[in-house]
A and B are shown apart, each in its own frame.
Chain A
Amino acid sequence: MTLSTNPSSSLKMTAQSDDALAAGLSAAARPVPVGKVSASDVSVFYGDKQALFDVSLEMPDRMVTALIGPSGCGKSTFLRCINRMNDTIPGARVEGRIMLEGENINDRGVDPVLLRARVGMVFQKPNPFPKSIFENVAYGPRIHGFADNKAELADIVESSLKRAGLWKEVADRLQAPGTSLSGGQQQRLVIARAIAVSPEVILMDEPCSALDPIATAKIEELIDDLRSQYCIIMVTHSMAQAARVSQRTAFFHMGAVIEAGATDEIFTNPRDSRTQDYITGRFG
C-alpha cells in the first residue's frame, strides 16, 4: 500500500496559506501547534466500561485533524466528547479537560446547546431533516436567532449552501425535500446545515463512508476548502483519506492515543510499531 505523504499533492490546492506552508516544512522543525481544541487526560466511561483512557490531544485551528484507528478504538467516542453528544447517552461519563479557546467545555457553566452551535457535527450517514432543503439549512440559524428577518435568513442559507458547494445544484429547488437529494448532495447539505450556525469547530464522523468515490472526492475537496476557516476534526477509516485531507493525525488504539503528530510524519515515519502495523494494513 503506497500512500501519498504530501497532503497537498493529491488535491489541487490553489491558495497557499500559511498553514499549507507550515505543512511543507520538515517534520523536525515543526513544533506541536497550540490547539484550538485541546484535550487533556480525557477518559470516558459507559456505565462500568471504560472506553477512553487519558486521551490528550491538540487540535489546531485552520487544520484538519484526522482520527484514525481500528473499529472500536474510541475515536468516535472522543469526537462526540468535543460537542458533548455523549451527554445524550444514558450512563456515559466524561472525565478530564477539553478546552475550547481556553474554556473547559465540561464546566458546569457551559450549556451543551450553546456549545453545539460553536462545535458543529457531520455524521457518518447523511441525516437531513425530512423537510425542505431551505428548512434544513435555515433551522439552526432560526433557533439561535441569527437572522432578524426572512431576507437575512435567506442570505445565510444561500451563503452556507455556496460554501458547501451545493448552491448551484439546488438553487432552483430550495423547497424540494432534503431527502430527495443524492447521498453525496445530502452530505453536503448536512455540512451546509452545520456551517449555517457559524461554528468554530466542525466534527466529522466518517463523513464519506456511505458515499461513492466521486461524491467522496467532492466532500474531500470541500473539507480542504473549509479548512481555511474552521478547525476540522475528522474520524476516518480510510488511511488514504487521512493522508489526502488531513494535516495532523492521531492514531487511536484500544481507547488510547498511541501516536499523534503531523500527518506526513505519522505516515512516513511512525514512531510506534502499532502505528506502523496499522497504516501498513497489518491489522485493523
Chain B
Amino acid sequence: MTDAVISPAQAAKARARAEAEARLKRRYRAEARFRFYGRTAIVLALAFLVLLLGRIGLQGYSTFTDYRVSLPVQVTAERVDLSDLGGSNFNLMVAESALALLGETDDPYGEASAEMMAILSGDLGFQILDRLRADPSLVGQTITVQGPMKANASLYYKGQISRDTEVGGRLLSDRQLDWLDELRERELVSGGFNWTFLSRSDSTEPEQAGVWGAVVGSAMMLFVTAMLAAPIGVLAATYLEEFAPKNRWTDLIEVNINNLAAVPSIIYGLLGLAVFINWLAVPRSSPLLGGLVLALMSLPTIIIATRSALRAVPPSIREAALAVGASRTQTVFHHVLPLAMPGMMTGVILSLAHALGETAPLLMIGMVSFVPGAPETLTSAATVLPVQIFIWENASERAFHERTAAAIIVLLVFMVLMNLTAVMVRRRFERRW
C-alpha cells in the first residue's frame, strides 16, 4: 500500500473516532474528579473524627490514674469529741499528723495546716470518722488511712501543674509543692488506676467525683425507654404495615410519624414537663420520667425502622404462608416478623443508643441537678451520663475538665458497645431467603 488518498468517507470516520475518543476522555476525567471528591470527603470526615476523639482522649485519659496517699494519723484525744463525733475536726487532725510526719509544726494562725488540708482529700477525715464510729477505743492510737490526694495535687503529680507557673496560676504555693515532692520521695504517695472515678457518684470535690451514679441512672432510664418504646414501636409498626387498611387515615398517621421523627428533642422535654410532671405527677429528675420522655422521642424512629424492615421481607413469603392456609396473624408472627427481626433489632438498638446520648429533653424535666449518689429506685433522683458531662463542663475547678472528657469516654464506650451489639444481632439473625 502506498500513500492512499483519503476519501471523504474515511475522513468522516476518522473524525467520528476522534470525537468518540475525546468523549471517552471526558468521561474518564469526570469519573476521576468524582472519585477525588469522594476521597476528600472521607479524609476530611476521618480527620475530624481523629481530632475529636484525640482531643477527648488526651484530655480525659489522665483521669483514669490518680494518686493516693497512705498516712499514719495520730488520733489525739484533744481533737476528738466522742459525744459529738460529727463535729470533730478530723481534717485538721490529718493535716497535723501529715505536718508532724514531714517534721513541721502548725503555726499559731493554722496557715500550714490549712495549706496541708488543701492537698489532702477530705475523704481521709471521713475515713477516721467512720473508724471511730465503729470503734471509739481507737482514740489515742495511730491509725493508717488511705485516700486520694486533692485534685490539684494529683494534677501536679501528673505534670499538669508545673513549678514554673507563677503561684497565682498554679493554685499551689511553693511550700505545698515541697510537701508534695517529699511525700512522693518517702513513697507515701502512689499512683494507680482511678477506681474512685468509676465507683463513686458526683461530688463537689473533683477527686471524689465519679460516674457511677450517672451510669446507673443512664442504665435505669434506658431500661424504662427500652421496655416502653421497643414493644409499642414494633407492634405499632407491625399493625400499620401488615394489618391496617391503606386509606387516607393511615396515610395521615404515616406522615405524622415521619414528622414526629424530625421534631427537635427539646420539644419532647417540654411535653414531658407538661404531661408527666404537671399532669401525671411523675417525680421529677427520676429515671422513670427520663425514660418516659425518651421513649416518646424514640417511638417514631423505631416505628420507621421497623416498617422498613417489614417492607424488606419479600411478598412471596407472605403469599407462601397464606397459600398453605395460615391466617394473617400466623403469617406475620410465624414468617414475616422473624425475617424482619435483624432490621428491627438494629433500628431499636440504634435509637436506644441515640436516646442514651440525649441531653436536651432531660434539661427540661429537671435532670440537671447535683445528685451525689446512685439512684436506688426508678423514682429516686438521678442523673445520667450526658447530663453529668454537661454539669462538669460548667464546673469551675480545673480537675473537673479532665473528668468531663473522661465521662465522655465512658459514654462513648457505652455507645460503641451498643452499636456492636446491633451489628452482632444483625449477624446472628440474618437469614437468606
Question: Chain A residues in contact with chain B, CB under 8 A?
Answer: 83, 85, 88, 90, 113-114, 116-117, 120-121, 123, 125, 127-130, 139-140, 143-144, 177, 179, 190, 193-194, 196-197
Closest to A140 in B: B324
7 smallest CB-CB distances across A and B, nearest first, come from A117-B325, A140-B324, A127-B316, A121-B323, A130-B433, A116-B325, A127-B320
The stretch of B92-100, B131-139, B327-335, B370-378 that contacts the partner chain: B327-335
Interface string of B409-433 (1 = CB under 8 A from A): 0000000000000000000000111
Report the Cα distance A232→B53, complex, angstroms: 67
Tell me what chain B mostly uses at the interface: helix, strand, loop, or mixed: helix
B382 CB, nearest partner CB in chain A, Å? 43
Of B245, B314, B327, the contact of A113 (CB 8 Å cutoff):
B327
Segment 379-433 of B: residues with Cβ below 8 Å from A: 431-433
Cβ–Cβ contact B433 & A123, under 8 A: no
Of A114, A123, A177, the contact of B323 (CB 8 Å cutoff):
A123
Q: Contacts A90-B246, A130-B433, A179-B433 hold; do A197 and B319 have CB atoms under 8 A apart?
A: no
Cβ–Cβ contact A194 & B324, under 8 A: yes
Q: Contacts A90-B245, A127-B316 hold; do A116 and B323 have CB atoms under 8 A apart?
A: yes
Report the Cα distance A179→B319, complex, angstroms: 16
Report the Cα distance A269→B432, complex, angstroms: 48
**B321 on the interface (CB 8 Å rule)?**
yes
Closest to B314 in A: A127
**B198 on the interface (CB 8 Å rule)?**
no
Chain B residues with Cβ below 8 Å from A116 are 322-325
Cβ–Cβ contact B316 & A88, under 8 A: no
Apart from A129-B335, A139-B334, A143-B334, what are 7 other A-B pairs with CB-CB below 8 Å? A114-B325, A120-B323, A127-B319, A127-B320, A139-B324, A140-B326, A193-B320
Chain B residues with Cβ below 8 Å from A179 are 432-433
Cβ–Cβ contact B324 & A197, under 8 A: yes
**B360 on the interface (CB 8 Å rule)?**
no
Interface string of B84-110 (1 = CB under 8 A from A): 000000000000000000000000000
Of A117, A128, A143, the contact of B320 (CB 8 Å cutoff):
A128
B217 CB, nearest partner CB in chain A, Å? 41
Report the Cα distance A196→B324, complex, angstroms: 9
A90 CB, nearest partner CB in chain B, Å? 5
- Summed over the interface, the residue pairs from A and B with CB atoms below 8 Å come to a total of 67
**B339 on the interface (CB 8 Å rule)?**
yes
Q: Contacts A139-B334, A143-B330 hold; do A113 and B325 have CB atoms under 8 A apart?
A: yes
Q: Contacts A90-B245, A130-B339, A179-B433 hold; do A190 and B320 have CB atoms under 8 A apart?
A: yes
Segment 4-54 of B: residues with Cβ below 8 Å from A: none
Closest to B325 in A: A117
Please classify how large the interface on chain B is, using the bins under 10, 10 to 19, 20 to 34, 35 or more.
Answer: 20 to 34
Interface string of B346-376 (1 = CB under 8 A from A): 0000000000000000000000000000000
A81 CB, nearest partner CB in chain B, Å? 14
Cβ–Cβ contact A144 & B319, under 8 A: no
Cβ–Cβ contact B334 & A125, under 8 A: no
**B317 on the interface (CB 8 Å rule)?**
yes
Report the Cα distance A193→B327, complex, angstroms: 16
Chain A residues with Cβ below 8 Å from B320 are 123, 127-129, 190, 193
Report the Cα distance A196→B334, complex, angstroms: 18
Cβ–Cβ contact A144 & B325, under 8 A: yes
Report the Cα distance A139→B316, complex, angstroms: 16
Closest to B323 in A: A121
Closest to A117 in B: B325
Cβ–Cβ contact B324 & A120, under 8 A: yes
Chain B residues with Cβ below 8 Å from A129 are 317, 320-321, 335
Report the Cα distance A88→B315, complex, angstroms: 11
Of A121, A130, A190, A196, the contact of B432 (CB 8 Å cutoff):
A130
B20 CB, nearest partner CB in chain A, Å? 38
Cβ–Cβ contact A193 & B324, under 8 A: yes
Chain B residues with Cβ below 8 Å from A130 are 317, 339, 431-433
B245 CB, nearest partner CB in chain A, Å? 7
Cβ–Cβ contact B316 & A125, under 8 A: yes
Chain B residues with Cβ below 8 Å from A117 are 324-325
Report the Cα distance A128→B321, complex, angstroms: 9
Q: Contacts A125-B316, A129-B317, A130-B339 hold; do A88 and B322 have CB atoms under 8 A apart?
A: yes
